[in-house]
């Protein structure tokens, strides 16, 4: 890989160079009505698209990102850090979400820090960053903005909505709130609510941020450092939940970092390799994420409870006639197989079209980001079948054109 950005060329199997787009939605007097009751707007939405939208606008797939993700799901940004999108192995020409066939959309979530309006954005009323004056956001609020973006793009029905972890929560909420806006639902490593254990880890993470002296009640944007130590610690704690005991043991065991013997030194904070790794993850994280956004989004995860909001999981999803695909991972202890099966059971009772698979993996919760081929084998036939069903439901003249088309080749 070249050191000079001007000489760098993406991999041949990549979507290539891409740009993040932005649109302003919910402008006065049509502000977004949040679940808290607050009316909020305008909202800038950062998003990326890949592939070409078909003339019938029936080949669009919306990818919902996880807690610390962003709109840059695939391809490369020219002139910036030479790093592909976070799901680059799944999205692109000939890949699981094949951009030769499909039009893929991904947007940064409301209250994020990668282009969509969030706590680090300027409050037009004060001329300063919102900070903790940013309104309380729920997963439902996030989905409302996604749905508005889809409408802005002129798409009445998505081929599929796909997401893992917090992205999977968004997928479930979308199916409940806008049941006619998608033909397929792909929910990976997620649940209908965050467990008490998951909430507990989020509480510890927020506590680490709040107790950093430089957090300053969320007003730290004039400080070049900000609550970097608190945010790094929050990330270190959270990152443990994304791994499994097997993956940690295989990768690090009890190996020491720079010695073959114990130093018997209480100041030696990173004596073990696993400690050094977690410190590295925390350091990298503070370079790309905002502490206030972390606070907002972990609260959104904590509040999410599909059954409580709609009466039951079955009632929440009973009006969605989409093809459902759920997948869990054997070593994921943050979002367990039992939690996925709870959703599947309710969908079956509601006579929804649902498929489920538990994938064997030692990678823990992060497996949906790291082990792509099993996802390709699951998602590709689902998309093909769903697209065919959509074509068959249209008049014959339009269906014939869609079958012959190869959009975005």
**What is the set of active-site residues?**
165, 332, 365
Q: Can you tell me which residue has the tokens 């010695």? A: 259
Give the span between the Cα atoms of 108 and 238, in whole angstroms: 20
For residue 268, what are the contacts with CB-CB under 8 A and spacing of at least 6?
none
Give the span between the Cα atoms of 191 and 17, in whole angstroms: 34
CA distances from 245 to 241, 253, 331, 364 (A): 10, 10, 8, 8
Reduced to 3 states (helix: H, G, I; strand: E, B; else coil), residue 359 is strand
DSSP, res 17: B
Structure tokens, 43? 């909202």
Q: Do residues 291 and 220 lie in contact, with contact meaning Cβ atoms separated by under 8 Å? A: yes
φ, ψ of residue 277 to 5 degrees: the values are -60, -45
Helices 291-303 and 228-242, axial angle in degrees (round to 10)? 40
Give the span between the Cα atoms of 148 and 145, in whole angstroms: 5
Q: Do residues 188 and 375 lie in contact, with contact meaning Cβ atoms separated by under 8 Å? A: yes
Among candidate residues 119, 95, 91, the one with its CA nearest the CA of residue 106: 91
Q: Can you tell me which residue has the tokens 């998003």? A: 47
Give the span between the Cα atoms of 12 and 14, in whole angstroms: 6
Q: Can you tell me which residue has the tokens 């489920």? A: 356
* Opening angle at CA 241, ends 236 and 242, nearest 5: 95
Q: Do residues 229 and 212 lie in contact, with contact meaning Cβ atoms separated by under 8 Å? A: yes
Among candidate residues 64, 49, 53, the one with its CA nearest the CA of residue 18: 49
Q: 354 pairs with which residues across the strands?
A: 324
Structure tokens, 369? 């980001």
Helices 228-242 and 273-286, axial angle in degrees (round to 10)? 120
Q: Do residues 59 and 406 lie in contact, with contact meaning Cβ atoms separated by under 8 Å? A: no
């Amino acid at each position: 890989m070249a050191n000079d950005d001007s000489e760098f060329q993406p991999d041949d199997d990549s979507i290539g160079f891409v740009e993040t787009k932005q649109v302003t939605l919910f402008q006065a007097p049509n502000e977004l009505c949040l679940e808290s009751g607050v009316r909020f707007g305008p909202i800038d939405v950062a998003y990326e698209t890949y592939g070409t939208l078909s003339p019938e606008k029936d080949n669009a797939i919306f990818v919902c990102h996880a807690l610390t993700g962003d709109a840059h799901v695939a391809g490369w940004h020219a002139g910036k850090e030479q790093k592909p999108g976070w799901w680059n192995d799944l999205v692109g020409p000939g890949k699981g979400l094949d951009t030769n066939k499909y039009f893929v959309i991904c947007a940064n979530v409301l209250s994020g820090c990668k282009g969509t309006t969030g706590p680090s954005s300027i409050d037009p009323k004060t001329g300063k960053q919102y900070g903790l004056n940013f309104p309380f956001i729920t997963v439902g609020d996030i989905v409302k903005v996604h749905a508005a973006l889809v409408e802005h793009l002129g798409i009445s029905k998505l081929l599929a909505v796909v997401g893992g972890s917090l992205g999977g929560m968004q997928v479930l909420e979308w199916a409940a709130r806008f049941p006619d806006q998608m033909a397929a639902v792909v929910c990976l490593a997620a649940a209908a609510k965050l467990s008490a254990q998951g909430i507990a880890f989020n509480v510890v993470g927020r506590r680490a941020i709040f107790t950093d002296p430089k957090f300053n009640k969320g007003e730290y944007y004039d400080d070049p450092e900000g609550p970097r130590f608190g945010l790094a610690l929050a990330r270190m704690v959270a990152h443990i939940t994304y791994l499994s005991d097997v993956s940690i043991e295989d990768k690090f065991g009890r190996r020491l970092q720079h010695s073959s013997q114990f130093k018997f030194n209480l100041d030696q904070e990173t004596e073990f390799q696993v400690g050094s790794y977690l410190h590295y993850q925390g350091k990298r994280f503070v370079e790309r994420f905002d502490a206030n956004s972390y606070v907002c989004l972990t609260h959104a995860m904590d509040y999410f409870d599909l059954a409580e909001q709609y009466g039951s999981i079955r009632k929440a999803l009973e009006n969605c006639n989409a093809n459902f695909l759920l997948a869990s991972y054997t070593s994921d202890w943050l979002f367990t197989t039992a939690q996925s099966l709870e959703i599947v059971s309710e969908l079956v009772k509601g006579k929804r079209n649902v498929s489920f698979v538990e994938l064997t993996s030692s990678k823990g919760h992060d497996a949906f980001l790291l082990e792509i081929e099993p996802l390709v084998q699951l998602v590709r036939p689902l998309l093909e079948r769903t697209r065919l069903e959509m074509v068959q439901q249209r008049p014959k003249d339009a269906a014939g054109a869609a079958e012959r088309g190869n959009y975005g080749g």
